[in-house]
Structure 1
Amino acid sequence: MMATQCVSKVELSISCNNLLDKDVGSKSDPLCVLLQSIGDDKWVELDRTENVKNSQDPEFSKKLLLDYYFEKVQKLKLCVYDIDNKSVDLKDDDYLGGLEITLGQIVSSKKITRPLQLKQSKPAGKGTITISADEIKDNRAIMLEVEAKGLDKKDLFGKSDPFLEFFKQGDDGKWQLVHRTEVVKNNLSPSWKKFTVALQTFCNSDMSKPIKVHCSDYDSDGTHDLIGVFQTNVSELLKAGHVSPVEFNCIHPEKQKKKKGYKNSGVIIFKGCQIQTQYTFLDYVMGGCQINFTVGIDFTGSNGDPRSPQSLHYMSPDGLNQYLLAIWSVGQVVQDYDTDKLFPAFGFGAQVPPHFKVSHEFALNFNPSNPYCTGIQGIVEAYRTALPQVKLYGPTNFSPIINHVAGIASVSTQQNNASQYFVLLIITDGEITDLDETRDAIVKASRLPMSIIIIGVGEADFKAMELLDGDDGVLKSLTGEPVARDIVQFVPLRQFTNAPREALAQSVLAEVPNQLVSYFRMLKLDPVNVPALKV
C-alpha cells in the first residue's frame, strides 16, 4: 500500500533573481509551478506559489509541499511564468525559465541556487532560482487574526493600502519570509483575513524565536512603501488567544530618528492566536477513514456502436478498451483504502432491459437493490456482461449519479466523525447534456465528504468538463452559490496514450488526499483514532 512508503513531507521555499522582463512598461508578475515526472516525459503539477506582482527578484511566501520517498528518484521541474491573466492555465502566460532537478539533490544540499533555462542549454538571461528544503516534522499550525488602527497615510489621493509580511530569522541571521497577507485597499484601520501557517514554517516550532513583522503600503508597480516594523515571538502572540488582544507599535525607523515626539506609525493588534494540530491524509486513513469508491460509466450513443472498431466501447482482441483501462488504472490504487472491496458500479444514458427505458443510473450488474461488485475485477466483469445487453442512447446526464453518491455521503455525515469518504469516478466521452443540473449537484456535493474524478475518453472537445474542474475559476451553481471546496478533477485519457499505466492513476488521484483533508478540516473533525504520537 502506498501509505507506508512515504518517508516524510518536505517543504520547499522558492525565490528568484534577475528574472527576464516580459511586460512592457512594468516588471514581470512571476509565479512558480512545481511539477513531478511520471515517466515518459510526462509531468504532473504538485503545487504552485502565489503570483508576485511587478518583481524580477520575487521571494514567494507560499511554500511548496511534497512527499519525499527515499527509495524513488523524484524528478522535479520548477517553472517560472509571468502571469498576465486570471486563468489558472499557464499556456497563455510567458515562460521565464525553469529548472529540472531531483528532490534528492535539493534535500542533500538543503539550499541550492541554479540558473534558469528557457530550454536545454539556453539560459533565461541572468535569471536564477534558489530552493531551500525543510523536512516537516511538526504537524501543528498557528492561526492568527490581525487588525491595525491609525496607520500612516502613504498615498497622495487616498489612504494607504496596507498588507503585512512575517519573517523568521534563519540560522545564518538572515530574515526569511514566512507569510504575506492580502492587501486591504484604502484603509488606515484594516482587518486582515484569518490565516494559518505551519508552526515549523512560521518559527521552526520555537516559541521564543524572533519574528519580524513589516507593515507596508501596496503599490501596483512593486515599490511598496514601508509603514512600520516591529519584532515579537510566538509566546508573546499566544497571549492574544488566552487573555486580551496583544498590541504592537508599528515603528518607521527613519521617522523615529527625525521626529522628536514620534510615537508610532500605527498600532498592529493581534485579536486571536491559536496553535492547532494539522492532520495529514495518512493520519486520517491510518486513523480509520474508509475511502468508498463508486464508478459511473457513460453508455450514450455518442460513444458509437460497441460492435464497430471505431466505438469507444469496442473490445479490442486483448479484451480492453479505454473505459476498462481507466477503471483498472484508478481502481487498483483506490481499492487498497477500502476494506470490504465492494464497489457500487452504475451506467448512465442507455436503454436498459427488460423494458428498454432510458436510465441515468442503472446498476451495472442489473441488481438495483445490491449494485456492489466484488473488487475491481467484479466491476470489469459486470461491464463486459452489461455492454451487449443495453442499447446505447442518451442524453448524457451526470447529475443523477452525482446526487446518488451525494445521498449516501450525506447519510454518512450523521456519524459526525472522519470515518467515511467517497470518491466517484465518472468515465465519459464528454458530451454532457445537463450541465446546469450537474453544476448544482457539484456545489451541493462540495459540502459533503466526497470527490469526483472525471476521465474523458476519445477525441471530443472537453470544454464543459474543464468548466466543471473549477481550476480556472470558482465553479458556481445556477443561483451563484460557489463550491465550498474544489472537489472535481478532470483528466483526458488521450494525454496518457503512451505513458505507463500508473501515470494516469497518479495524475487523477493527485488531488484526492488534499480534498479529503480539506473536508475534515472544514468541519474541524480529527481522525477517528488519533495517532498516539500526535496527541
Structure 2
Amino acid sequence: MTSLALTTTTESCPGQSQFNVYEVLNPKKRGKKKKYLNSGTVTLLSFLVDIEVTFLDYIKGGTQINFTVAIDFTASNGNPAQPTSLHYMSPYQLNAYGMALKAVGDIIQDYDSDKMFPALGFGAKLPPDGRVSHEFALNGNPQNPYCPGIDGVMEAYYQSLKSVYLYGPTNFSPVINHVARYAASVKDGSQYFILLIITDGVISDMAQTKESIVNASCLPMSIIIVGVGPAEFDAMIELDGDEVRISSRGRYAERDIVQFVPFRDYIDRTGNHILSMARLAKDVLAEIPDQFLSYMRTRGIKPSPAPPPYTPPGHPLQTQI
C-alpha cells in the first residue's frame, strides 16, 4: 500500500503551482533502492474549506435570543389555597411552578439579549368579567407583557395567582401561535425565539397544538416544555418528537423544535431542592443549539462577523509591524 505525503492548509492555499505537487512514497522501496525517488506524484488542483460554525458564532455576531414564558393556570393543577396544589401559595417556600420557573429561568436568562421576558398565562378566568383566556399577560398589561428578568416574571406570576381563577381547558396552541407571529416577522437570522411552557402535562388541544408546532417548525423558533407534578407526561413526550416527528394533517414538522423536561427528575423526594442544577441546565438546553443551527443552515444564513473588542477611550489599538 502506498502512502500520500501530507500537506498543510497553508501550503496548499495558493492554488495550482509547483508547490502543489506531492510525491507518492513507498517506504519499502525507499529503504531498499538507493535511486528510488517516488512512486508517482499527485497534483492538487483545488480544495474547499468548509468552516463549521457554532451556536455561539451567531450569538457573537449579534443574533438576539428572545425568551417568552407561558404558565399553565388550569384547574387540573389544584386549588392554590390547598397544600396539594402545584400552585399552592405557601408563605414559607416556592410552590412547584415557582421552583421550576426560578430554576429554569436562571438557566435561560443569561442567553436572553435584553433580560426582558414576555410572560403569559393560559387557562384561567380573568377579572373583572370572568372571561377565559389562553394567552393573558401575567403583569396585567397586554400591550406590554414584558417583565424585568426572571425575578420580575416570578413577581407577576404570584400576583396573577391572587387575581385570576384557575379554570380550563388546557390549550397550548394559543401561546405557541402568539410567539410564532413574532418569529414569522423576523426570518433573516437576526432574532431567534424560544417559548418556555411550564405545565402539569394535561393538554386539551393536542391536534391544534401539533398543527401549531408543524407550522412553527419553519420559523426561527424553539419550544421548551417543563412538566411539573406527578402526572404521566405521555402527551408531552409525543410533542417532543425525538422518536417520531410531529405531523398534522399529513404534514410533518420541517425540524424538531420541542424539548420536554420532566422537572420531578431533578428534585429530591421532599420536592423542595434541586438535585443538580448542572444536569437540569444541560437537559433544558440540550437541543436548542442544534435546533437553532438547523434553521440557520437550511436558510443559508451565516453568522455576522463578531464586532471588534471594545477599546476604552484613550487606549488606541496597538498594531504589530
Q: TM-score, normalised by structure 1?
A: 0.48
Cα distance in 1, alignment partners of residues 155 and 119 from structure 2? 11
- 2:255 maps to 485
Q: Shift in Å at residue 237 of structure 1?
A: 8.3
**1:509 corresponds to 2:282:** no
Cα distance in 2, alignment partners of residues 209 and 443 from structure 1? 52
Cα distance in 1, alignment partners of residues 149 and 253 from structure 2? 32
- 1:472 maps to 243
Runs of at least 5 residues in structure 1 that lack an aligned partner in the other structure: 1-168, 172-198, 200-206, 211-232, 239-273
* CA displacement, residues 307-333 of structure 1 (integer Å, 9 cap, x when unaligned): 000000013343301211121222222
Cα distance in 1, alignment partners of residues 202 and 21 from structure 2? 58
Q: Shift in Å at residue 338 of structure 1?
A: 2.5
Runs of at least 5 residues in structure 2 that lack an aligned partner in the other structure: 10-19, 24-41, 269-274, 309-321
Cα distance in 1, alignment partners of residues 83 and 114 from structure 2? 36
- 1:443 maps to 214
Q: Shift in Å at residue 339 of structure 1?
A: 3.2
Change (3 A) 1:288 1:306: same
Correspondent of 1:380 among 154, 159, 175: 154
Correspondent of 1:301 among 58, 75, 88: 75
- 1:281 maps to 55
Secondary structure, aligned partner of 2:253: coil
- 1:525 maps to 301
**1:350 corresponds to 2:120:** no
Cα distance in 1, alignment partners of residues 21 and 161 from structure 2? 66
- Report if the CA contact (8 A) 1:423-1:453 is conserved: yes
Aligned partner letter, 2:259: Q
- 1:454 maps to 225
Aligned partner letter, 1:365: N
Secondary structure, aligned partner of 1:293: strand
Matches within 5 A, 1:97-136: none
- 2:32 maps to none
- Report if the CA contact (8 A) 2:66-2:113 is conserved: no
Aligned partner letter, 1:447: C
The alignment of Structure 1 onto Structure 2 pairs a total of residues equal to 269
- 1:497 maps to 267
**1:424 corresponds to 2:195:** yes
* CA displacement, residues 170-221 of structure 1 (integer Å, 9 cap, x when unaligned): 99xxxxxxxxxxxxxxxxxxxxxxxxxxx9xxxxxxx9999xxxxxxxxxxx
- Report if the CA contact (8 A) 2:201-2:233 is conserved: yes
Flag the structure with higher helix content: 2
Cα distance in 1, alignment partners of residues 53 and 85 from structure 2? 45
Cα distance in 2, alignment partners of residues 361 and 396 from structure 1? 11
Over the matched positions of the two proteins, sequence identity in percent amounts to 55
Q: Shift in Å at residue 517 of structure 1?
A: 1.2
- Report if the CA contact (8 A) 2:74-2:168 is conserved: yes
* CA displacement, residues 226-255 of structure 1 (integer Å, 9 cap, x when unaligned): xxxxxxx995785xxxxxxxxxxxxxxxxx
CA root-mean-square deviation: 2.5
